Amino acid sequence: MADNSGIKKWRRKILGNWQRLYLKLKMMQLDAGPGFYSAGGLYINRKHKVKAGKNLFLGRHVHIASNVEFGDNVLVASFVGFVGGDHKIDGIGNTPMNQAGVDGFKTTTIKDNVWIGHGAIILNGITIEQGAVIAAGAVVTKDVEENSIVAGPYAQEIRKRNP
């Protein structure tokens, strides 16, 4: 049997570059570096900016509704959401919730070599440091330390990555 890995890498690189150009023209708020690849269904809210380093991989149906800066070599699985900071919830006066206004958006920062698992939710203004792993389904409400593995509804650190 012939080794098709070289052909697959070449095909993915060509497809990724074409896709990056197409999405850049379609979504002016996306600034992606070389090696960008999205598996499809990417949504970026038009109010927000996304900046990505080299080799960003986005799984299917990633939803971005906050400003996000990705480092190099970041993996984001399917159905991950980058959200939050949009509705004011304090001030229980006579103002209905749907008229309470919008909080200021903060930039979410994902440093180099981070892996975000399926269905994770990352709130705006969070920094995920280099080498961190976010487990599937985690809800990240606070910054994540370098090389940490976090899991669960409050993204609790379960351990550090082994060197």
Distance of alpha carbon 66 from alpha carbon 118, whole angstroms = 18
Count CA atoms within 13 Å of residue 60 on its CB side: 0
13 phi and psi, to 5 degrees?
-65, -45
Backbone dihedral region of 128: left (phi > 0), alpha (psi from -120 to 50 degrees) or beta? beta
Structure tokens at 112: 């180099």
Pairing assessment for the beta strands 75-76 and 115-116 based on DSSP bridges: parallel
Catalytic residue selected from 48, 61, 63, 87:
87
Handedness of CA 91, 68, 147, 153 (dihedral sign): positive
For 117, the 3-state DSSP assignment is coil
Distance of alpha carbon 77 from alpha carbon 80, whole angstroms = 6
Instruction: Confirm whether 87 is a catalytic residue.
Output: yes
Catalytic residues: 87
